[in-house]
Amino acid sequence: MVMIQIRRRWTYEDVAKLLSMAQKYPSAQIASEIGRPVSSVRTKAHELAISLRMDRRQRHTIDPGPRA
């Protein structure tokens, strides 16, 4: 059985979300928010010359909740 991959085009909203989250959130979290694979997010960022490297002072992550 051959699996066919369907590629979804990047919308204006997807690119805007990437731009707003870049350098503030990890690539995996950006990918989850946009609904795309991490590799796709990294490739698009490279195409747009956007750095995904996070500044240590501005890191935002999902709060995992209280530690047990």
Would you state the pLDDT for residue 45? 97
**Quick one: three-class SS letters along the chain?**
CCCCCCCCCCCHHHHHHHHHHCCCCCHHHHHHHHCCCHHHHHHHHHHCCCCCCCCHHHCCCCCCCCCC
Cut 0.85: pTM above it: no
Per-residue pLDDT at 42 exceeds 60: yes
pLDDT one-digit tens code per residue, 2-40: 878 788 899 999 999 999 999 999 999 999 999 999 999
Q: How far is CA 21 from CA 15, 17, 36, in A?
A: 10, 6, 14
